[in-house]
Amino acid sequence: MDINCAEMCQNGCVLGDQCPNLEYKEQTSQFISDTPLDKLLEMADEAVRKKARERASAPPQWILPED
């Protein structure tokens, strides 16, 4: 069964033990528990700044109304 995890699992995994991403769940849990909160916040801040720079350097996108 192929599902789009990004859409279907927003409120938790719908596949349970059949989830193909269980190995990543364990790695992620370990990373979060091993990484100090200050470092996590620093990484998040850097990601937000990077995204803002990308948006600022991208050309404007025109949205035309449908006729």
> Does a structural domain hold residue 18?
yes
pTM listed for this prediction: 0.56
Domain residue limits at 33: 9-55
Written as six digits, the tokens of 11 are: 């409120």
Task: Report which of 7, 34, 2 is spatially closest to residue 19, judged by C-alpha positions.
Answer: 2
Residue 53's identity, in one-letter code, is R
As for how many domains the chain has, the answer is: 1
Going 28 to 33 to 34 to 36, the CA torsion angle's sign is positive
> Which pLDDT score, from 0 to 100, does residue 1 have?
60
Report residue 59's pLDDT band, with 50, 70 and 90 as the boundaries: confident
Q: Rounded to 5 degrees, what angle do the CA atoms 47, 35, 13 make?
A: 75
In a domain, 16, yes or no: yes
- State pLDDT tens for residues 21-56: 888 888 999 999 999 999 999 999 999 999 998 888
